Amino acid sequence: MKRVLVSSLMFFLLACGLSTQEELVLSKAVGDYVDAVNENQVLIKLGLSHPRVVKHYSDQGKDTVQKYFDLEKYSIFNYVKDKSWDADQSLCIRYQYKKEDHQHYFYAVKKEGQKNWLFIDERDTFLFPELFEVNN
């Protein structure tokens, strides 16, 4: 089992094109994002979300931002990397998880030359046609 897991991890790292250091940074960022969602840490989730998502809901008013980012009934467990692709000078990685017998997704996105990973929930992919038009 361990050999299969290591082989799978190596295959993904090679396919994704991430160095070991980049993979560690991604892993920490994803862990921080999932923890923020699961522990209802609204300010951390705001900081890790793609700025376009935050702006979209901010433009609709304070109540909309609070409602969207209040995560009490929202959780992510047993997530796995599902797919990765390059689009618009960005590396995009899709994670999948099951909730109430339905498949759900969230995305980690890193623009070329940037150090930080930003996150997009499946509800917000419409804000990023350049990233998700073909690959979603």
Spans of all domains in the chain:
18-132
Structural class in CATH, domain 18-132: alpha beta
| pLDDT at residue 57 in the model | 93
Strand partners of residue 83: 94
Alpha-carbon gap, residue 106 to 43, rounded angstroms: 18
Quickly list H helices, the chain.
Answer: 2-16, 20-38, 42-48, 51-58, 62-69, 129-132
| pLDDT at residue 14 in the model | 43
Q: Residue 23 burial by CB count (10 A; 0-12/13-18/19+): exposed, middle or buried?
A: middle
Note the pLDDT tens digit of each residue in 27-72. 999 999 999 999 989 899 999 999 999 999 999 998 888 888 876 6
Q: Is 2's pLDDT higher than 80?
A: no
Alpha-carbon gap, residue 17 to 66, rounded angstroms: 37
In sequence order, the 6+-apart residues with CB closer than 8 A to the CB of 81 are 12, 93, 94, 95
- Model's pTM, two decimal places? 0.82
